[in-house]
Amino acid sequence: MKQPGSKSSIRRPEEKPRPWSKIQKELYNLLDPNAELQAHCSVHRMESQYGSKDLPRFFITLGYGDSQEVIFDYPKDFPEVAEKNFYPYESGSFSKYWQYSPGHFTKSFASTIREYVDTSKDELLTLDLKDDNLGLINIFKCADRRLGRRSKDKLAALILTSDVKNKELCIKILNKRFKK
């Protein structure tokens, strides 16, 4: 029988949430629920005879339940980028998982999303982050509740007339969000 005050009965403080969870929550607070967009981050452990490595996966899904589909998947959908940057990750804290080699990426997914979340409503429509090499910001803009129905036409025109990455995904998200 355990005695009160013994190590096994001492309640440990809850661990702090990982930085991704905080950023994800803030991002979800900005996204329109009608868009049914979700951003996911996971780390897969790769074991080999030469050692082990934690490999990140960042993906975005559209829809819920049986109709859910992965519309953005890094590194799977970006083999040319992943090939150049597949093993630059440091072990240790979660925030280091998303650091890329300076030759290709200068910012991580988390810091790109953080910068997006911190962008004011007035600057949102014209926001273009030079470090967003995979077009994440365009995807999030299309699901952002700060850009309402009045901004929808401007955003759609901007996407269709410019050289925007993930153009088809953006249109798909806008159509889902505004039920076209």
Residue 2 in any domain: the answer is: no
| Residue 91 pLDDT exceeds 50 | no
Asked whether residue 6 is assigned to any structural domain, the reply reads no
Counting the structural domains of the chain, the total is 1
Identify whether 32 is part of a domain: yes
52 contacts 58 by C-beta, under 8 angstroms: no
Tokens 């559209």 found at:
62
Rounded to 10 deg, the angle between the 136-143 and 109-117 helix axes is 40
Does the pLDDT at position 12 exceed 50? no
- For the stretch 36-71, pLDDT in tens is 999 998 877 778 788 777 677 889 999 998 999 999
Please indicate, yes or no, if residue 62 is contained in any of the structural domains. Answer: yes
Dump pLDDT digits (tens) for 145-174. 999 988 888 898 888 887 778 889 999 999
Position 78 in a domain: yes
pLDDT higher at 76 or 176: 176
* Residues in contact with 110: Cβ distance below 8 Å, sequence separation at least 6, in sequence order: 19, 20, 23, 95, 98
The model's pLDDT over 119-135, given as tens digits with 9 standing for 90+, comes to 999 999 888 877 777 88
- 40, part of any domain: yes
Does residue 8 belong to any structural domain of this protein? no
Find the domain containing 64 and state its range.
18-177
Beta-carbon count within 10 A of 41 CB: 21
What average pLDDT does the segment 100-117 reach?
61
pLDDT at 21 over 90: no
Nearest to 146 by CA among 29, 23, 48, 63: 29
**What is the Cα–Cα distance from 13 to 155, expressed in whole angstroms?**
46
Q: Which three-class secondary structure string do you get for the chain?
A: CCCCCCHHHCCCCCCCCCHHHHHHHHHHHHECHHHCEEEEEEEEEEEECCEEEEEEEEEEEECCHHHCEEEEEECCCCHHHHHHHCCCCCCCCHHHHHCCCCCCCCCCHHHHHHHHHCCCHHHHCCCCCCCCCCCHHHHHHHHECCCCHHHHHHHHHHHHHCCCCCHHHHHHHHHHHCCC
CA–CA separation, 98 vs 106, rounded Å? 11
Tell me the pLDDT band of 14, cut-offs 50, 70 and 90: low
